[in-house]
Structure 1
């Protein structure tokens, strides 16, 4: 009887032990490794998605900034272009009796609209001295645009400016003109001294300041009425107020004849402006070179090359702009400005 009890107890204990062992079964090492790999894949996918989203937001921000810069540049240049050639009522009412008198001598009247092709101005004499761009320079092919206009006297004899006319820095004139050739001057060009190529504004020696950062290319063509390249004007144009062709700044120059050159500048009726603006490094996810046409992609004819619709685009440095292969977002901006520029004022 005693042996039978012992046997039952041993069997009971053995049964309890077997049941407990089955309850402790868990994951094997292989299963743990598989779970770890799956977790890593999910984490990497989440991080990659976050990085792509962040880069996308950076590109969107850069595109918005480029759009703002483009709008600001076009608005500023449109306003300066509308002001170019403006004379206060006292001088506008009495045109010059002879438009060529004194143009080549001391105190000569510089044209209201002028410029230099493929150059940047001297810091000490931005109106009359410039240096040509080197081929390898950032900003190569960019042009200089010079615009002049008078301030407005509040009323004749008041001696006070109404401060409605501004220069390229946005500064209004606080003084009134003393004669018909006393004008405000704005010089616009590209400079790389700011660490980033920028559209610069100069209103005199040592006054240059950046107004728009990231401008790699600045192109200007001049819509003229009755001007033959590098030739003194002769007969009055058939349509004197309508541009019949677009020329580069160097095509307006008549060698050795300042009066004829200024007469050509007085026949500029519109400006064709082209720019290429760039964003910060890493503002786009693609790293590749791009080709831009600042003055437009249109062809001169069916067989013409892209960007050749303007008469000078075929041989004008910068009118076909190829960017380096980097991660900067870029935008081309093109627009035309109608001028008040007039002969004989």
Structure 2
């Protein structure tokens, strides 16, 4: 009888230890996946923030240097390399466009980044005979009808949609009246010559939306295409922008403001943005076991306070400040 009792005690102790060890392992695994998701989310955002405003060798973007031939809405407003949306309030700054990302989670921020891709460039091979002529390039590899591209030299740039690709003669067409969104004109701003380059142009929007399982997640949308889910379990994104207020400017931010806040509304004010401070609130991919805790904690991301959550997910805030290299 004593032996049986001792055996039962040992069995119970081993079972308790096993259950506790498994629970700890699962919790550590959830925490590790949460941190990995946060790292990937910040990597995506950081890479594109550093690339935004890259327009080939063109140093400064303004209405005199960039001609947009595309029939465009929000996604091709090329004069603004970066735009911000604060708390899904309905207005992008500085363009004042009111087109919201589809199903954006309330009270979350979004950001639009515009850039040419340095890995997709081909070089103009001979001077254009006139501004509406096809463009002779040294290669058409990676280019397709419908692509939005930027034709850029070190003095100016044109953005247009490719309407024809001649693989034998290596010519790119840019007619009007076809394609989506299509070109509003066939005329470019000038006759381009070597060594001008043609680069794919992208407007990339980052925002928070619930995925098909109802979990808030980080989504990315390129141009006017379908949004894709990047990272699951991103509850909140809050962004502030580092503005250089010195006269003359020294490219060092003196103050951080939210999009649309006084001092960060007009194109002139946004031209002083030098950095972006990202705040993410990321949850574990699944709830912790056991009874739900009485959650009372709140979360402060870049000045925005997120209320306590009622589920049993663990959460953590992640912050990073990114320098905008091309602004």
The verdict on a shared fold, with TM-score over 0.5 as the criterion, is yes
Q: Deviations over 1:56-87 (max 9, x none)?
A: 11111112212211221222111101101111
- Choose from 253, 258, 280 the match for 1:248: 258
In 2, Cα distance between the equivalents of 1:285 and 1:293? Answer: 27
Q: Which is higher, the Rg of structure 1 or of structure 2?
A: 1
**Conservation of the 8 A alpha-carbon contact between 2:287 and 2:312:** yes
In 2, Cα distance between the equivalents of 1:78 and 1:155? Answer: 28
Counterpart position of 2:212:
194
- Choose from 81, 85, 103 the match for 1:116: 85
Structure 1 segments unaligned to the other structure (5+ residues): 1-31, 164-172, 227-235, 255-259, 296-312, 314-318
- Choose from 292, 309, 325 the match for 1:324: 309
**Conservation of the 8 A alpha-carbon contact between 1:161 and 1:175:** no
- Choose from 233, 247, 250 the match for 1:237: 247
Q: Does 1:47 align with 2:15?
A: yes
- Choose from 264, 267, 272 the match for 1:267: 272
Give runs of aligned pairs for residues 301-340 of structure 1, distance below 5 A: 313=303, 319-340=304-325
Runs of 4+ residues over 6 Å off in structure 1 = 99-102
The TM-score with structure 2 as length reference comes to 0.65
The TM-score with structure 1 as length reference comes to 0.62
**Conservation of the 8 A alpha-carbon contact between 1:160 and 1:174:** no
In 1, Cα distance between the equivalents of 2:252 and 2:140? Answer: 32
Counterpart position of 1:129:
99
When you count strand as a share of all residues, which structure comes out higher?
A: 2
SS at match of 1:74: helix
In 2, Cα distance between the equivalents of 1:83 and 1:203? Answer: 14
| Residues 284 and 154 (structure 1), Cα distance of their counterparts in 2 relative to 1, 3 Å cut | farther
**Conservation of the 8 A alpha-carbon contact between 1:275 and 1:332:** yes
**Conservation of the 8 A alpha-carbon contact between 1:120 and 1:190:** no
SS at match of 2:238: strand
In 2, Cα distance between the equivalents of 1:199 and 1:121? Answer: 19
Alpha-carbon shift at residue 120 of structure 1 (Å): 8.2
**Aligned residue pair count:** 253
When you count helix as a share of all residues, which structure comes out higher?
A: 1
Q: Does 1:279 align with 2:264?
A: no
Counterpart position of 1:178:
151
Alpha-carbon shift at residue 47 of structure 1 (Å): 1.8
SS at match of 2:301: coil
Give runs of aligned pairs for residues 119-158 of structure 1, distance below 5 A: 119=88, 128-130=98-100, 139-152=105-118, 153-157=121-125, 158=137
Alpha-carbon shift at residue 265 of structure 1 (Å): 2.0
| Residues 98 and 244 (structure 1), Cα distance of their counterparts in 2 relative to 1, 3 Å cut | farther
